[in-house]
Amino acid sequence: MRDMSFSTALLLAPLAYTLHHFEEHILFNFREWRLLYFPDSNALSTEIIFMILTAITLLYVLLHNLFESRATAMSVLLFLMATQVQNSLFHLGATLYFWDFSPGLYTALLLYLPVNFLIALKAFRESWVTAKSLLVLFFVGGTSFWFFEVFGPIVIGITVLSTLIWILVDRERDSTTV
């Protein structure tokens, strides 16, 4: 078996998200649990959010496979930091803070963290990112995640639009320097 590339490792993210969603909403009732402790900042159904986040993840994977640039690599990593890595910290932190199991904790810790560590490691080894840029992506992703928790889905749109503009500008810059 050959070594898994960054592009191939990215395909693990939507699979992990599918299993995480299964834990949150089929095995348990995350939304009911969440409403015990947090205001409802998201009027969209969990199915709609699942479809949106999965589609966006796959869009980023496709963009990276098509254009293979640092902008596409960093954009997909930023999105995964915001949607999966920070989500893991949310589940763990909320479980410990409220001393009440947060549905989604198992897959957050056992899938999200190892899968995203592997993805980040592949990105680093293939020189798509540096250790410093990974740290920046972690903090920007965290900001995006917490803004989403406060302001709702509009934050997803702003994040995606910003990164798509970045990818287009980067592509345009590359095409004019060739």
Number of domains in the chain: 1
Question: Which residues does 5 contact at the CB level (< 8 Å), separation at least 6?
Answer: 122, 126
| 93-139 pLDDT tens trace | 999 999 999 999 999 999 999 999 999 999 999 999 999 999 999 99
- Among 65, 80, 74, 143, residue whose Cα is nearest residue 114: 80
Does any domain span residue 133? yes
Say what the pTM is.
0.92
Does any domain span residue 30? yes
pLDDT higher than threshold 70 for residue 178: no
Mean per-residue pLDDT over the chain, rounded = 94
pLDDT on residue 2: 73
pLDDT on residue 152: 81
Does any domain span residue 109? yes
Does any domain span residue 48? yes
Does any domain span residue 178? no
Q: 141 lies in which domain range?
A: 6-172
Does any domain span residue 157? yes
Question: Which residues does 46 contact at the CB level (< 8 Å), separation at least 6?
Answer: 21, 24, 25, 30, 31
* Residue with token string 């690599």: 73
Does any domain span residue 1? no
Angle between helices 113-125 and 70-80 in degrees, nearest 10? 160
Does any domain span residue 118? yes
pLDDT higher than threshold 80 for residue 42: no
